[in-house]
């Protein structure tokens, strides 16, 4: 089931994201991801609070299992175009949850873009399966690898 982000989801989603980032990017030091997780937590909190005052800048959709309110996945769309993050807990992967989140991200939009690190092969494959293709590469010095911009025409 998809629902909007709740403030009570933020800590769990930040920890889940940290776990997935570390396992998807083994060449990047864990400290880098810990710092990024702290930043993500702060961004989600600020965006959640801002959305209460002025909806529409950033959209978050959370996946929960039916009958359970625990956040098991998240997609964040900014500027009505950019998929900032999309991830699903390991126990829910392979069951269509990511596809459900991506369908929500695509809903009512003409195009989307996403950035992904080169070594995240599973994430790149997921995006390609959902119509994204590589548009450009730029070296990410912090991660010491290419960051790939991928675009998707929805309509």
User: Is 116 exposed, middle or buried (CB count within 10 Å of its CB: 0-12, 13-18, 19+)?
Assistant: buried
In a domain, 133, yes or no: no
Give me the CATH number covering residue 88.
3.40.630.30
Q: Is residue 151 part of a domain?
A: no
Q: Which domain holds residue 15?
A: 2-110
Q: Is 119 a member of any domain?
A: no
Residue 139 lies in a domain: no
pLDDT at 49: 87
What separation in angstroms does the CA of 51 have from each of 7, 43, 127?
A: 11, 12, 27
pLDDT tens-place string over residues 44-90: 999 888 877 666 667 899 999 999 999 999 999 988 899 999 999 99
Please check the confidence at residue 91 and state whether its pLDDT lies above 90.
yes
| Tens digits of residue pLDDT in 19-55 | 999 999 999 999 999 999 999 999 999 988 887 766 6
User: What pLDDT score was predicted for residue 55?
Assistant: 63
In a domain, 155, yes or no: no
2-4 and 58-64 beta bridge pairing: antiparallel
Alpha-carbon span 12 to 14, nearest angstrom: 5
What pLDDT is attached to residue 57?
Answer: 64
| Percent of the chain topping pLDDT 70 | 97
Report yes or no on 126 lying in a domain: no
Q: Residue 136 corresponds to which tokens in the numbers above?
A: 């450009």
Q: Across residues 92-121, what is the average pLDDT?
A: 96
The answer to whether 21 and 36 are in contact (CB under 8 A) is yes
| Number of domains, the chain | 1
């Amino acid at each position: 089931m998809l629902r909007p982000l709740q403030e009570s989801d933020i800590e769990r989603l930040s920890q889940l994201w940290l776990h997935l980032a570390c396992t998807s990017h083994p060449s990047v030091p864990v400290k880098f991801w810990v710092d990024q997780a702290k930043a993500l937590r702060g961004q989600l909190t600020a965006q959640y609070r801002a959305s209460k005052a002025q909806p529409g800048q950033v959209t978050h959709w959370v996946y929960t299992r039916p009958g359970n309110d625990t956040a098991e996945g998240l997609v964040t769309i900014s500027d009505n175009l950019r998929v900032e993050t999309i991830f699903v807990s390991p126990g829910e992967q392979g069951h269509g949850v990511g596809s459900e989140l991506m369908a929500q991200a695509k809903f009512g939009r003409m195009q989307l873009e996403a950035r992904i690190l080169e070594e995240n092969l599973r994430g790149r494959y997921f995006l390609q399966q959902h119509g994204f293709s590589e548009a450009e590469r730029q070296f990410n010095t912090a991660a010491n690898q290419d960051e790939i911009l991928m675009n998707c025409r929805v309509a």
